[in-house]
Structure 1
Amino acid sequence: MIRVLVVDDSALMRRFLGRIFEAEADFEVASAKDGLEALDLIGRFRPHVVTLDVEMPNLGGLECLDRIMVEHPCPVVMVSGLTQRGAEATLRALDMGAVDFIVKPQGTISLHAEELAPLIVERVRAAAATTIRRSRRLAERLKFRAGSQPPRPQPSRRRKATPLAPAGRPADSLVLVGVSTGGPPALDAVLSTLPHDFGWPVLIAQHMPASFTGPLSRRLDRLCALDVTEVTRPTVIAAGTVYIGKGDADLVISRRGGELVALPAPSDPGHRWHPSVDRLVRTALDHVPAENLIGLLMTGMGNDGAAAMTALRAAGGHTIAEAESTAVVWGMPGELVGLGGATDVVPLPEIGQRLKDISPWH
């Protein structure tokens, strides 16, 4: 049985989520109305996964998450609204150790139950199967057990620099990144290691709602030496820039006037997740020689991107799959490995260096 603790100050949301999980034969459900009650219950109920509202009275979602990750480390799925404030708090939560997030239904909750229930169950079940690495926030856990309070995490800041295109880089060359569950911290880990003169444009399909990808791009722009921007209109692809696909749409590559262009396109119903990694890679192959493409598939549920990156490798491109040892969910990269489409299988902390190693013009 999967023990899930539902934490939300709204009785309506507690009932909504509780009924979804109770309808599944393999879930046992408990609930709490705020962070204080959750912390009191978590030690006794010992949940396999917690769904945690972002905004609550008494002890808010971020403060509760901070204490869960130190005192009782377990997988946490944030429950967020579609506001910018909710998106920014959710991204902060993912950085602090939350595994995933689900978006609160808008309007009348009951009207969305049939549509949302399978997705919510899938994501929470996947989160329950993840392992919180024992090394994460070890110092804070030791201090807690010794009786002292853990420090609050502080945002990192980096000085921006003007991106440069290295001499000798092929005119058309791209890094194509696909990522889903656990993606924002993984993107931070990779992009923060790339210097301002890396030179390759990086295009990212991160499965997210539209209201989240703008805050994600701004957050990564603050943390990385490269410029990071959300693609909201047709944009000429420039060296040394990172392009985040707009959520609820697809990021595609085209050519206009001889120049490569990244543009948002209406989501293709033939793909389940958006922005679609498969569609990004296949449109890149339509306009760029495969040998000038690097595909990177990181943590995420499902198989989006695996088939397209396998085709990329077969055509002469280079592909990297995140190793199972570091992926929050080894779905997408695992599928790539299973298809024989991964040139390299690399743990997350080494991916940035691997990108630099296979870029001889860097």
Structure 2
Amino acid sequence: MATKIRVLIVDDSAMMRRMIKNILETDAEIEVVGTARDGEDALVKARESRPDVVTLDVNMPVMDGLTCLVHLLEEQPDIEVVMLSSLTQEGALTTFEALELGAFDFVGKPSGTVSANLYIVGKEIIAKVKAAAKHRRRNKRKAERPVRPSPSLLSGAVKRTAAGETSGVAPVVVVIGVSTGGPGTLMEILPKLPADLKAGVIVVQHMPPMFTASFAQRLDAYCRLPFSEARSGDRLFAGRGFVAPGGMHLVLRKSSATGEVLLRLTQSPADALFIPSVDVTMRSALEVYGRKMVGVLLTGMGSDGAEAMVAVRKAGGITIAEDESTAVVFGMPREAIERGGASVIAPAHKIAEEIVKAVKRVAME
């Protein structure tokens, strides 16, 4: 019989602790080994129960979630932490700090710190706890977690001229799809892209509304390319990046009057499993760019983007999938590889280099 995933629940609300426990215990592979009401209580309970995964509330008295996270990872570096945060601007900023400090991933509480409708994201909580446990097993010898420098430390690397931000209509488009484990992986890849990249870059990260704007701001602070959350009517320039907003699909359209490539936001198809959808964006980009396209599929659960990667490769574009050796969750890239949709397979630390090479190749064809 397989060993169950041992989970410690940390939340200052008794109702939230009870609801999270009820949700997790619907899965036979998960065992809740304890609950804690604040950060200090969590540290004591973690020492006693030695959990595999901790679900950690952000806003708590006595010791907040971020402080608790730092202490947890110092004391038990092989533990995995899934943050539970409110879907607000403040919640987003704190969550990204937690991810930089070493949290595995996050789930947004649908209606604030105390969410009576938490069951709406129940499947997501279970899926991310299980993904975190799998990641822990793959990294048992992990003694240290890399702490990325703050954006201020990279200020010299991201200075830009106004002209460099809009260096002409993009002759090539790079569409990057990513889900669970994505923010950390993207922070490893995107800052390495050069400011003079002769392509527009679009990132489709499965992330709720309110979080994508904050995430785009953090990418903008880290990267040589300017990044922003996409809006309808934005023009796709070379050397510029956009993040698809949560809750909307991002599609590309070419203006018949000017020849410019414009971004459009839509809620269609409404029945897509993920909104934004990697498949939707990649397919629309393929319609506009054809073989002048680079598709990239990174860590994530499920298969979003896999079919579009196949189509891009068949059309003559270049497709890059993250290798299993670095993927936090080898779901989406594995699907692309198994379906024949990856012309290049590379670990995360080499993907920026592969993107640059691919852009140069398709630009010359």
- 1:165 offset after TM fit, Å? 9.2
Could you say which residue in structure 1 is the equivalent of 2:154? 157
**Structure 1 counterpart of 2:106, one-letter code:** F
Output the amino acid matched with 1:282.
R
**Residue matched to 2:144:** 138
Counterpart of 2:154, as a letter, is: R
CA distance in 2, matches of 1:344, 1:170: 26
Give the corresponding residue for 2:311.
311
Matches within 5 A, 1:236-275: 236-256=235-255, 257=257, 258-266=259-267, 268-275=269-276
- Aligned ranges 1:295-306 → 2 under 5 Å: 295-306=295-306
SS at match of 2:281: helix
Residues 166 and 199 of structure 1 are in contact (CA less than 8 Å); yes or no, is this contact kept in structure 2? no
Q: Tell me which residue corresponds to 1:88.
A: 93
Match of 1:10 in 2: 13
Identity in percent: 41
Q: Indicate conservation of the 8 Å contact 1:4/1:48, yes or no.
A: yes
Q: Say if 1:51 and 1:165 are closer, same or farther in 2 by CA, change over 3 A.
A: closer
**Residues 200-349 of structure 1 mapped to structure 2, 5 A cutoff:** 200-256=199-255, 257=257, 258-266=259-267, 268-289=269-290, 291-349=291-349
| Equivalent pair of 1:170/1:292 in contact (CA under 8 Å) | no
Q: 1: CA distance between counterparts of 2:118 and 2:10?
A: 20
Displacement of 1:55 in angstroms is 1.4
CA contact (8 A) 1:245 1:251 kept: yes
Contact preservation (8 Å) 1:248, 1:267: no
- Quick check: 1:353 aligned with 2:353? yes
Task: Compare 291-300 and 34-43 and name the one that shifted more.
Answer: 34-43
Matched, 1:26 2:29: yes
Structure 1 counterpart of 2:336, which letter?
A: L
State the alpha-carbon separation in 2 of the partners of residues 307 and 124 from structure 1: 27
Q: Describe how 1:61-80 pairs up with structure 2 within 5 A.
A: 61-73=65-77, 74-80=79-85
| Equivalent pair of 2:310/2:340 in contact (CA under 8 Å) | yes
Quick one: which amino acid aligns to residue 64 of structure 1?
C
SS in structure 1 of the partner of residue 154 of structure 2: coil
Shift of 1:270: 3.1
Measured after TM superposition, the shift of residue 235 of structure 1 is 0.8
- Aligned pair partner of 2:51 in 47, 56, 62: 47
C-alpha contact (below 8 Å) 2:80/2:133 kept by paired residues: yes
TM-score in terms of structure 1 length: 0.90
1:90-135, CA deviations, whole angstroms, 9 ceiling, x for partnerless residues?
A: 111112221111111317844452x332232122222221137468
Work out whether residues 235 and 260 of structure 2, in 8 Å CA contact, stay in contact via their aligned partners in 1: yes
Say which SS state the counterpart of residue 196 (structure 1) adopts.
coil
1:145 matched to which residue of 2?
none
CA 1:350/1:170 → structure 2, altered by over 3 Å: closer, same or farther? same
Match of 2:40 in 1: 36
Q: Residue deviations 1:225-274, cap 9 Å, x none?
A: 11101012221111100010011111111112321111221152332112
Partner of 1:146 in structure 2? none
Letter in structure 2 aligned against 1:47: P
Contact 1:246 1:275 in 2 (8 A): yes
Are 1:197 and 2:201 an aligned pair?
A: no
Are the counterparts in 2 of residues 3 and 47 from structure 1 also a CA contact under 8 Å?
Answer: yes
Query: Does the CA-based 8 Å contact 1:324-1:347 persist in structure 2?
Result: yes
Deviation, 1:43, is 2.4
Alpha-carbon deviation of 1:210? 1.1
CA contact (8 A) 1:206 1:274 kept: no
Task: Return 5+ residue gaps in structure 1 as ranges.
Answer: 141-150
Across the aligned residues of Structure 1 and Structure 2, the Cα RMSD in angstroms comes to 2.5
Partner Cα distance (1:153, 1:240) in 2 = 23
Q: Tell me how far apart the structure 2 counterparts of residues 41 and 359 of structure 1 sit (CA, whole Å).
A: 51
